[in-house]
Amino acid sequence: MKVLVISDLHGSDWGVRQIHSWIDELKPELLLVCGDTTHFGPISFAKDFFEALDLRTLAIPGNCDPVAILPVLDELGVNLHGRVVKVGGETFIGFGGSNPTPFDTPFEVPDDKMYESLSPVMIKDAVLVTHAPPHGTLDGTTYSGHLGSKALARIIEGLQPKLSVFGHIHEARGFQPGRPAYLNPGSAREGYGALVEIGESIDAMLLG
C-alpha cells in the first residue's frame, strides 16, 4: 500500500497546495494526517482542507488543534483518534493530541491517560498513527532534549507495531527502518512530507 503521510500543516495555504501536488504526482492510495492541521484554529480551515481531498484519508488532531476539531473529523469520515480502522488489509490505530507541553496548548493528554486509552485497542503488527512521538525516537530538539511520550514508548515496546508515524517535533524529521519502523515526515507547513510503502517491509521516501 502506498501512503502519503503529512503532519503539522498549521493552517498553511501553501502547504495545502503542496499536498495536492504530491497527491497528483505520486498517486497514493491513502493519506495519513498526523495532527496540527490548524494552528489553534479556525476549524473552518480543517473542514475546507479535508472536504477538498479526493483520496481516502485518516486523520488525528494535534496539540495545536482545538478539541472541537473532533466532530468535524467525524462528520467528514476521516477521524482515526482513539479508533482502529482497516484499509487495504492494513490495520491503523490512531491517537491525537500530545503529552503535556510547557505551552498549555489546546489538545494535551497526560501520559497515563494516553496509555490507558491506547493500550486496550492496540493490535500487534498495526500501523500506529499519533501526533506525539514515542520518547527517545525522532523526538529530539536542539535545546530541550527528547520531548516524546513515555507512554507511547511503553506501548510500542510491548506490542511492536510494524510502523509508528507521528509529527509534533518539526526538527526531528526522519525515517528509521526496522521493526518497528519510525517516521516523522516533518512539517507540511515547511513543505515536508513522506511517501511510505507498507507491505512485508516498510520503505519510506522523505518529500520536500
- Please write the tens of the pLDDT for every residue from 140-154: 886 777 789 999 999
Predicted pLDDT of residue 145: 78
Mean pLDDT of 76-82: 98
Decide: 98 and 132 in contact? Cβ < 8 Å: yes
Query: pLDDT value at position 159?
Result: 87
Burial category of 79 from C-beta neighbours within 10 Å (exposed 0-12, middle 13-18, buried 19 and up): buried
**Any residues with CB less than 8 A from the CB of 44 and at least 6 apart, and which?**
none
Would you say 5 and 194 are in contact if contact means Cβ atoms under 8 Å apart? yes
CA–CA distance, 148 with 76 (Å, rounded to integer): 29
Where residue 84 falls among pLDDT bands split at 50, 70, 90?
Answer: very high
pLDDT value at position 59? 98
In the chain, how long is the greatest CA-to-CA distance?
A: 41
Per residue, what are the HEC states of 144-208? Answer: CEECCEHHHHHHHHHHCCCEEECCCCHHHCEEECCCCEEEECCCHHHCCEEEEEECCCEEEEEEC
Is the sign of the CA dihedral 108, 137, 1, 50 positive or negative?
positive
- List, for residues 129-185, the tens digit of each pLDDT value: 999 999 999 988 867 777 899 999 999 998 889 999 999 999 999 999 999 999 999
Give the pLDDT of residue 111. 95
**Do the bridges between strand 83-87 and strand 140-141 make them parallel or antiparallel, or are there none, so unpaired?**
unpaired
CATH of 2-207, one of 3.60.21.10, 3.90.79.10, 3.20.20.120, 3.40.50.300: 3.60.21.10
Q: Which sign, positive or negative, has the C-alpha torsion 44, 187, 184, 206?
A: positive
Residue whose grid cell is 491503523: 92
C-alpha cell at 143: 535545546
pLDDT of residue 142: 66
pLDDT interval class at 40 (50, 70, 90): very high
Report d(CA 98, CA 81) in Å as an integer. Answer: 12
Lowest mean pLDDT among 49-53, 93-97, 115-119, 183-187: 115-119
Residues 22-35 pLDDT 10s: 999 999 999 999 99
Q: What is the pLDDT of residue 167?
A: 98
Give residue for cell 519510525. Answer: 182
Name the percent of the chain lying above pLDDT 70. Answer: 99
Going by C-alpha positions, the residue among 115, 137, 126, 136 that lies closest to residue 184 is 137
pTM, whole model, 2 decimals? Answer: 0.96
Cα–Cα distance for residue pair 99/150, rounded to 1 Å: 9
| Higher pLDDT among residues 160 and 105, named by residue | 105
